[in-house]
Each structure stands twice: as structure tokens, then as C-alpha cells.
Chains A and B, each alone.
Chain A
Amino acid sequence: MSFRLKVMLAFTLTVAASVWLVAWLVTESLSRTFAERDHRRAAMLVQLFKHEFERRGDELLQRVKAVAASQAVVGLLAAPDPVFEEAGRLANEQRLNFLEILSRDGTIISSAEWPARFGYKEEWLGERNWAALNPFLRVEELPDGQALGLYALTTVQNDSNQLTIIGGLRLDEQFLKAIEVPEGMQVTLDRKNLLRGSIVTDMPLKGGDDKTLATVYIGQSSKELADLRDFIRQTAWIVGGAGVLMGGLLSLWASERVTRPVERLAATVRLVAAGEWDARAEVNSRDEIGQLAADFNAMSEQLVDQKRRMLQAERVAAWREIARRLAHELKNPLFPLQITIENLRRVRETKPHEFEEVFEESTKALLVELGQLKGIVNQFSDFARMPAPRLEQADVNQIVHEATPLFEAHAAKLELVLADGLPPVYADPEQIGRALRNLILNAMDAMGDGGTITIRTSLAAGGQRVAIEVIDTGAGLTKEEIERLFTPYYTTKHHGTGLGLAIVQSVIADHKGTVSASSEPGKGTTFRMELNRYEQTAAG
């Protein structure tokens, strides 16, 4: 993920989270406030209902008493026989929904709510002292079902008779309508009447036996809160959207001001890493990024300068080494040449008769030494003129087999440990064979007489390469010697040009392979060459 995208995401998420958090906090706060308000209002309404209940109860009792005091009831008290329409008429006069006039034993003398029930007994009347409960709630049986009512009861009597007057008001939606409720609130006996989404408070209505006869539902509209929530949500969306948009714009600006210079600096770094030492970062600002670019440029210039100086130093050192080596190598044959020539001159001057004999021997020695000089020169020439490899499909084991017969006569024992089924490599068999021979010679030199040289082939790099190892049982090398092994003209031997391993490294490098050495003093040395297998190289 790019830095620019990270910046944009971070900014957007920060804005969105902030907006959401603020919206949530505000909504929660509002919800709590509304809940407290609703609770207070519901409690107030419950109280109001209770007051209204008591008020209506008192009023009801007065009406029932008025019925009890009426001329009609006085007449019935004298002759308490069932009459059909008296209760209905009295109920109308006193605006009662229910009115029953009962004899002493609870027999209905007249009933307003169910006129046809005259002569039947109200069994529930004897269950308790209802007058003490005035007013009380009861569910009344009616011809077409049941009805909940608020009732009051009183009795009238004379010397011989007693009448019970039970009056009631139907406790229905109409009853509840008389209660003035604040705007946005509803009171109902049927929960289904409440508006959807209302916050409901239940108020159970209990009868004389403490059983719940009905429930008054106090509904409070949640529309106000819902509207506010919607507004907050909409605002949050708008602000959040604007924040995201702003985040995008700011990230673009930031990319222009911050990430673009960083990206350009990174590209410059990659160029430098790839070897383009002349690449330089643009310095467009004076901020940290600009300073970083300037420092990078300074560092690059220092590196280039150091590299140039190092190359110069290395060249000087190389030339010195070459000069030393050449001097050393040439000095050895030159000295015998000089001695031989001086001896010839001395013999010609002092012993001319022996001159021929000496001349013959001396020229032979001169030719030997000159041949040695020529060999030295040819080695340098070969190294300088290393040809480009002719890469082809080659069998590593075959190369090993072709290179080793030359050394069979040597005193050292040669062992081949060759893996079967190795894939072909992409190599010049001649050059690889030459490198292998150099390593074998090097091993022989390291061991002197005797010892064992093991040549082993195997798969390497997970099957992508094939390795050839030359393992000797010589004295081994120190860490420092290993580090300098492949430096041209470096040798640990008293004879040799120091070019053998350099040639090996040059050959393997031309094959895009690797060569390494591992050793411990006293435990021999292992040289390992790895070559790319044919398929991979060909594909590449």
C-alpha cells in the first residue's frame, strides 16, 4: 500500500470516526434526555390518571347515592319486586353506564346494562365488602360480552327491606379520552391503538381481588427523538462525506507536497542502487523532505567520490602487485640468464678451449630459462585475453570425466562422487573444464604429495543449479586467506602467478554462476562452483 493511500485512508478514517463518535455521543445524550423526559411524563400521566380515577370515583359515588335517594328507589324499597325498566331510566338520569338495583339477597330487581336479567342473583356481591372499596373496578357480564367498569356501591334500607345500588361507568376508550394528555402522548386500553414506534408504559388496572383486569397503555410518540436522530444521522453523513472528500483532496495535496518528493527520492535511490551514480534527487522545498533529498544527493556525491578514489587506489595497488609479481617472476629466470652469460664470457676469456662445451650447456640452460619466461608471459596473456564463453547444453558429470584423466598419474588420490540424473547446465564445457582443472591443480599444490581430492556433483539452489565441489585434504586456509583467494595475482605458493583462481572466478562469473571456498586450517579446503541449469537459463 502506498504512502499516499495510507495517508488518505488514515485521514478519512479519522474524520469518519470522529464524526461517528460525535454523532453517537449526541444521539446517546439525546436518547437519555428523552428517556428521562418520557419517564417523567409517563409518571405524571399515571398520577393524572389516578387523580382522574379518584375524581370520577367520587363523582360516581355521588350519582349512585343520588339514585339511592330517588323516589323510584324509595318505592322499590317498599316493594322490592323486579321491575323492568327502572334501572335504565335512573341510569339515564344520572348518566351511568351501569346500574343495578339488588335486593338484600343480591337478586337483581332492575338492571340497566342487562335489563333481561331481572330476578337473577349477583353472586359476586357476597364475596367481600365492596362498599369499603368504593370505587372499584369490575368486569361486568353483558349480553354481548364483557365490559370493564368503574363501580360504586351503596345500600338503602327501611325496617323490612334493603336495596343495594351498584352504579358504574364503562372504563373504555371514551373514559380515557376525558383525561387530558400532553401532546404527543396517547392513553389507551388496546396496545394496538398506539402509534407505531411509541414508547409504552403499562399501568395495570386491578380489581377488588387484586387481579389485573385490564392494562392502560401510555404511549409517547418517539417521533421527536426519531426526527432528531434522523437529523443527526443525516448531518453525520453529510459531514462524514465532506470529511472523506476533504481527506481525498488533502491526501492529493499531501502527495504533491510530501509523497511525490518521497517517491521521486525513492526512485533516485533505486537508480543509484542500480549503478546510475549520476542520478540526483530534485530538491524543491526547504522542509524535511527537501533536506532529505539534499542530504541524499550529498551522500551520493560522496559515495561516487569515494568509489572513484577507491578504484584509483585499487588500480594503483593492482599495478604495484603486477609490478611486484612481474619483477618477482622475471627476476628468477633473469638471474640464471645473467650468470650463464657471465660464465660464457668468463670461459671464453679464460678457458677458450672449454668454451664450446660450456657454450653448449649454457645455451641449453638459457633456452630453459627463456622458455620459463615465455610461459610466464603466456599466462598473463591468457588471463588478459579470456574469451567469451560459448554457452550450450552441457553435462556436468561429462565435464568432470573429461577433466580428470590428466591427473590420474599424480600422487594424490582422486575420487569422483557424481550425482545421477543431474539436469544439464547452460555452460561452455571447455571453459568449465579449464576452471575445474585449475581447482584440481590448486588442490594438488595445496596437498603436496599424497592426500585425497574428492570431486562431487550435486543439485543446488532447490534444483535450479548444479554444484561441482573440489575437496582436498590439505592444510586448509585461514579466514584472511579465503577472503583474498580470488584476488588476481594472489598466491600462497612459492611458485605460480596467482592467476589460477582469478581465472576460475572469471569463468564462473561469465556463466552467471557462483564460486566459493570454505576451509578450516588442518581440515582441507572445499571449492564449490554452481552453474545454472539449462532450462532456467534458456528460459531467461
Chain B
Amino acid sequence: MKRRDWLLTALSGSAALMPAAWADRPRYGGTLRVFPSLPAANLEPFTRVTTAAQPDAARRAWRFTLRPNVQLQGGTPWTSAYAVEKIKAAFPGFGAAGAGPGTVIVTTDAVTSDLPRVLDRKVLIESGPFEPVLPPGPRPTMRANELYWNGRPFLDAIELAGSAQDADLVELSLTGSRRLRPDSHRIWSTLPIELIAIDAAGAHPQVRQALGLAIDRSSIVKVLLQGHGEAAGGLSPQWLSGYAFVFPVQTDLAKAKSLLGGRPPQMTLSYTAGDVLLRLIAERIAVNARDIGLAIQPKSVAGAELKMLREPVEEWPNYDTERAVMEERKLIPVVHVPHLYAIHNRVRGWDEANDGRSADLHLESIWVEA
């Protein structure tokens, strides 16, 4: 068994032992007011409600063991049939079938090294610790799921706040942390869990390389991200890979200019409409590109030669693999960024429940002081 599979099995097994203990915990209660949107606390990733994932030798068929005693919101039972339905809806190209009362086998045409992680991104099960209040009132609310398989959450409810000032938990823009009132909230960030990069598949390899050398990543981190994040030379952040420092992140304008040569200096760098962070970083990259004579127009359009993208960080087996993937995808890593929150001082148990290694927030074991 590989290291990852062993860890998954072990974690799942230990979690299976916890519900009884958590169910005995005192009910601290309280309503957590969040801003600007309700978290998906009613949903859990697929593997959260499984206890084991076992691939075959070819790593094309995976056997998942469903967690017992899980009851979905609304009274629907957590069965292999339901799991198969959800998997097929999310991944129509995958094969999925029940193999007995608590087992599901998922097959793929291609070799899949980490199917649990792939499924977790899209197969979300309505088994979370909170459930939406229906019909919705004037303010969207979730209440504690009394039947949560891991025990009732401490909070009584999660409610959408009218403004950031009124909220206990505020999802912050990386560029807007200065606006927070320091006396009532503290800033908490995850580890850098997202990669912001440029997909330069539409650019000449030397232009791609020149642009990578022209980007002043440290200024982006220091000024735009206000220190939250780290310059990225590779795909994985240092905390995840341990060798990220090997990828160069320094600017080298002289080399960039020599690489650029006489190539067409006009390009468009697209970003996702409405994504302020991507837009700002694209604008800064455009300014940096002018230093080497490259005219880049940041725009929210389709079909650009360069595209800003953000995606969750992944762990790669080694430096060479990561480097190969980066070359294959023609990516220019820019920064690794965390998710940033402002947490009111009356929120308790946050640091114990959230280690910052994932984008998922664990709200079931925090409470709010009255």
C-alpha cells in the first residue's frame, strides 16, 4: 500500500471511532454570522463519508467502503446506490457500480493515481454538519444537523450577515485585508493552498520564459497580496513539496530581454471576469512586461494568448515530475496564495478545528460566545 492510501485508510478509520466521543461534547451553541456568503457546510466531499479506498493493481478500478451510520439530510439513506448516482452525475465518463451493501467500485479508462482526490472535487454529499433552513427566510441560514454522523455541531446555526462589520467570519480578499477593523477581528489564513499562474500555451516558449523572468513576484506578494502568499516558481508551495525553493522566482530583466529577441511584443492576458485578484495580478504582470518591451493587454476575454488561472495546489511525487507537468502545461507560476479570513474575537475553537491545510473549513467544532 502506498503512503497516501495508507494515510487515507488510517484517517478514515480513526474518524470512524470519533463520532461517539464528539457526540458527548458540551453544546456551546451560538449563531455564526458569515460574510459574504454561506459556506457549503451542508456538503461533504465523497471520501469524508467513506472509510476506505482501495485501488486495483492497474489503478483503474477503485473500491470504496461507505461509512456506516451516515444519514443524509432530508432522511435519504447513504447507500451504495446513492453514491453511484452521485458519482455518475459528476463524472459521466467513469464507471460506477455497487458491490454489496456498503461498497462502491469506480472504474476509469485511464490510470488514475489519486481517484479519491479527483472525486472529492466534484462529488459532494449532503451529509454535512449543517443543513439549510427551508424555505429560506429573509436571511439565508443553516441550522445544526442533529443527525450528523459525527455528532451534532457545537453551533446552533450559521447565518448570512448583512455586512462584514456585522459578521463573525469574513472571507477576505487578499488585497483588502487592510480594511479590516483590527480591534474586533483577527486575520487568519490558510497555508498557501492555491496556485496563481499564467497558462502560456499560446505563447512562444522563449516569450513564456522571458515573461517568467520579468515578473516581479516579490512585489506582488508584498504589495498586492499584502504579504499573504509566496512567490511561486513551481506548482507546489514549499509547505507541501519541501523543495519549492529550487524553482527560481527572481526577476532577470537582462536575460528576459535577450530571450524575447525580436518576437511580437503584443499579447493579451485574460483573466476570469469578476476575479479581482487575478485582474490585479494581470495588470501588475503587464506593467512588469513593459520593462522588457513586451506589450501585454490584460483583458477579460476568451481566446487570449496568455490566461491567468488559479487552481488548488497539489502534491507531486518529486521535483522532476512537477517540472515536467509544468512544462507540459506551459505554465508560468506566479504566486501561491492562501485563503484569508477575518475572525471575530468571540469565535472560539477555530484554531483547534482548522489547521489551514485545506480550503474546507471545519465549522462543526467551533462556537460563538454570546
Contacts and interface: CB of A to CB of B under 8 A. Distances in A.
Interface of A: 81-85, 114-120, 143
Interface residues of B, number: 15
Contacts of A115: 280, 283
A143 B280 contact: no
A85 B298 CA distance: 19
B224 interface: yes
B222 A116 contact: no
Contact of B223 (A114, A118, A143): A118
A82 B227 CA distance: 12
Contacts of A83: 178, 223
A117 B178 CA distance: 19
A116 B178 contact: no
Contacts of B226: 84
A109 to B, nearest CB: 9
Interface of B: 175-176, 178, 216, 219, 222-224, 226, 280, 283-284, 286-287, 298
Nearest to B175: A84
A116 B175 contact: no
Query: Nearest 4 pairs between A and B by C-beta?
Result: A116-B283, A116-B284, A82-B223, A116-B287
30 contacts: A81-B223, A82-B219, A82-B222, A82-B223, A83-B178, A83-B223, A84-B175, A84-B223, A84-B224, A84-B226, A84-B280, A85-B175, A85-B176, A85-B178, A114-B287, A115-B280, A115-B283, A116-B280, A116-B283, A116-B286, A116-B287, A117-B287, A118-B219, A118-B223, A119-B216, A119-B223, A120-B287, A143-B286, A143-B287, A143-B298
Contacts of A82: 219, 222-223
A119 B217 CA distance: 12
Contacts of A118: 219, 223
B283 A143 contact: yes
A84 B276 CA distance: 13
Main secondary structure of the interface of B (DSSP, over half): helix
B72 to A, nearest CB: 44
B9 to A, nearest CB: 46
Which of B175, B216, B286, B287: most chain A CB closer than 10 A? B287
Nearest to A72: B178
A66 B101 CA distance: 73
Interface centre among B216, B219, B223, B280 (most CB of A within 10 A): B223
Interface centre among A81, A84, A114, A119 (most CB of B within 10 A): A84
Nearest to A118: B223
A367 to B, nearest CB: 148
Contacts of A81: 222-223
A143 B223 CA distance: 19
A119 B284 CA distance: 11
Nearest to B219: A119
A83 B224 CA distance: 8
A116 B222 CA distance: 13
A82 B223 CA distance: 6
A212 B85 CA distance: 72
Contacts of B176: 85
Given A85-B178, A116-B286, 9 more contacts: A82-B223, A83-B178, A84-B226, A85-B175, A115-B283, A116-B280, A119-B219, A143-B283, A143-B298
A143 B298 CA distance: 9
A82 B175 CA distance: 13
B231 to A, nearest CB: 15
A71 B219 CA distance: 24
A316 B38 CA distance: 154
A111 to B, nearest CB: 10
B277 to A, nearest CB: 11
B68 to A, nearest CB: 51
Contacts of B298: 143
A214 B284 CA distance: 29
A143 B296 CA distance: 10
Nearest to B224: A84
A348 to B, nearest CB: 165
Nearest to B299: A144
Nearest to A141: B290
Nearest to A110: B223
Nearest to A114: B287
A81 B283 CA distance: 19
Contacts of B175: 84-85
Nearest to A109: B223
A505 to B, nearest CB: 114
A57 B219 CA distance: 34
Contacts of B286: 116, 143
Nearest to B283: A116
Contacts of B219: 82, 118-119
A93 to B, nearest CB: 14
Contacts of A85: 175-176, 178
A360 to B, nearest CB: 158
B337 to A, nearest CB: 14
Contacts of A120: 287
Contacts of A117: 287
B228 to A, nearest CB: 12
A115 B176 CA distance: 14
Nearest to A86: B178
A120 B287 CA distance: 9
Nearest to B291: A120
A159 to B, nearest CB: 25
A85 B176 CA distance: 8
Nearest to B279: A116
A495 B298 CA distance: 140
A114 B216 CA distance: 16
B266 to A, nearest CB: 14
Contacts of B287: 114, 116-117, 120, 143
A202 B223 CA distance: 45
A82 B176 CA distance: 15
A200 B296 CA distance: 39
A483 B235 CA distance: 142
Contacts of B283: 115-116, 143
Contacts of B216: 119
A84 to B, nearest CB: 5
A464 to B, nearest CB: 96
